[in-house]
Structure 1
Amino acid sequence: MTETINYDELNRQLVQYKVGITAAELHGFIVGILAGGNHDESWRPLVEDMLNNGQTVVAPLNEKITKLYQLTKQQLLDENFEFQLFLRDKDLYAQIDDLVGWVNHFLLGIGLVQPKINRIKGDVGEAIYDLRQIVNLGYDEQEDQQELEFAFEEIKEYVRITSMLCFDEFNETEITPTIH
């Protein structure tokens, strides 16, 4: 995908407009909404409610959020599995914090669109359970840096795959009717 959004720039805008979440958390929420099967414009009020108590988001930030939504949707629909989590690319501890916030907001987003998510069985049910456990992740700064980095990469990949699994589960693909 050629278009991208700069994490730090979006984060600065969220702080500037006094929105109390990070870019990672916003992305997790949007992915949760999409993974839950939402495809119409009702995603906007959900995001506005979370960000701004239901009030319209200021134009510059709204444009960036719309672009993030569109790029994320493209990634999730892509057959080459381009979808990536939107996290800082520096400092392992900041990335871990971003991942936990991302997962927490993903669960919030998917829960709003799929209110019976707790009753889902099978692979998706187990994956949702695992995500709830990941939200409780912590770390000790005395831990071996290489081991912690390896564990983080493994968990991040699991979250990425789980997000795509949920998207596939709750988003029906259009089947072209066979003409006889």
Structure 2
Amino acid sequence: MSKTKLPDYLFFSDTLKSASLAVTPAELHGLLTGMLSGGLKTDDGSWQPLLFDYTSEGMAWTMTALSLAEKVMTHTTDEMNEDDFRLSLVLPEAEVDAALVEKAEAVSEWVNHFISGLGLARLDVKSLSEGSKEALGDLEEIGKLIIDEEDDLNEQSLLLEQVIEHVKVCVLTIHAECGAHREPQKKNPTLH
């Protein structure tokens, strides 16, 4: 289990805004998860300049915002590399009907930035297995997601939760094939 926690969405959003970054927590988490799933290693810090170029025209981030991004990266790496293959998404909570639309938009933003993160990691889409190509195709369709406010919002809410679970499966499918995996810790040899 990961020792780090994902930050609260509103706190994370406020931190990014106060650093004058035009990226939402959902977009940032999707981007970082895509970079990881595309095979980008995080131990050498090469992800930071890519992040700066993508989000702030190459300008470095404040230490507070960068620290939160590092925590999110660590948590996501730990989570996706655990044996039970879990993935939490940084999304706003949808407790009222108006928030449901916001959450659906955040899912779409998360997915679109995940796909961008795969690109930043220079993932060769043509070399993917059929399963990963299908997962990527599903994500591309989910990236177009909108909520019809004229429909039954309770039903829409249930469908959105199913879509979120499908996003997780698709992401974990791609990550299992292409993602940056931590090397297992070397065990000390047993001397007899």
TM-score (norm 2): 0.84
Match 2:11 to one of 4, 9, 12? 9
Contact 2:138 2:170 survives alignment (8 Å):
no
1:16 Cα deviation after fit: 1.4
User: 2:137, 2:12 → 1: CA distance?
Assistant: 30
**What secondary structure, in the 3-state scheme, does the structure 2 residue paired with 1:138 have?**
coil
Q: 2: distance between equivalents of 1:2 and 1:141?
A: 39
| Alpha-carbon distance between aligned partners in 1 of 2:126 and 2:108, rounded to the nearest angstrom | 19
Question: Which 10-residue stretch deviates more, 97-106 or 146-155?
Answer: 146-155
Q: What is the match of residue 23 of structure 1?
A: 25
Identical residues among aligned pairs (%)? 27
Q: Distance in 2 between matches of 1:45 and 1:71?
A: 20
Query: For the residues of structure 2 that align with 1:154 and 1:43, how far apart are their CA atoms?
Result: 31
* Aligned-partner residue type, residue 21 of structure 1: V
Correspondent of 1:35 among 34, 37, 41? 37
Question: Deviation at 1:108?
Answer: 0.1
Deviation, 1:28, is 0.1
Q: Secondary structure at the match of 1:8?
A: helix
2:65 to 61, 68, 72: 61
Structure 1 unaligned spans of 5+: none
For 1:104 and 1:166, locate their aligned partners in 2 and report how far apart those are by CA, in whole Å.
15
Residue matched to 1:99? 107
Indicate how the Cα distance of structure 1 residues 165 and 55 shifts in structure 2: closer, same or farther if over 3 A, else same.
same
The Cα RMSD (Å) is 1.9
**Which runs of structure 2 are paired with 1:1-180 in the superposition (5 Å)?**
1=2, 3-4=4-5, 5-40=7-42, 41-90=45-94, 91-118=99-126, 120-171=128-179
Q: Which amino acid aligns with 1:136?
A: K
Are the aligned partners of 2:29 and 2:110 in contact in 1 as well (CA < 8 Å)? yes
Return the offset for 1:60.
Answer: 1.1
Equivalent AA in structure 1 for residue 48 of structure 2: R
TM-score, normalised by the number of residues in structure 1: 0.90
| Structure 1 residue 142, shift from structure 2 partner | 1.2
Residue 2 (structure 1) shift: 5.4
- Give the deviation of 1:105 after TM superposition: 0.1
Count of paired positions:
176
**Quick check: 20-29 or 42-51, which moved more?**
42-51
Q: Secondary structure at the match of 1:136?
A: coil
Shift of 1:115: 4.1
- Gaps in structure 2 of 5+ consecutive residues: 187-192
Rounded Cα–Cα distance in structure 2 between residues aligned with 1:138 and 1:63: 32
Q: CA deviation at 1:81?
A: 2.9
Quote how far apart the aligned CAs of 1:171 are. Answer: 3.3
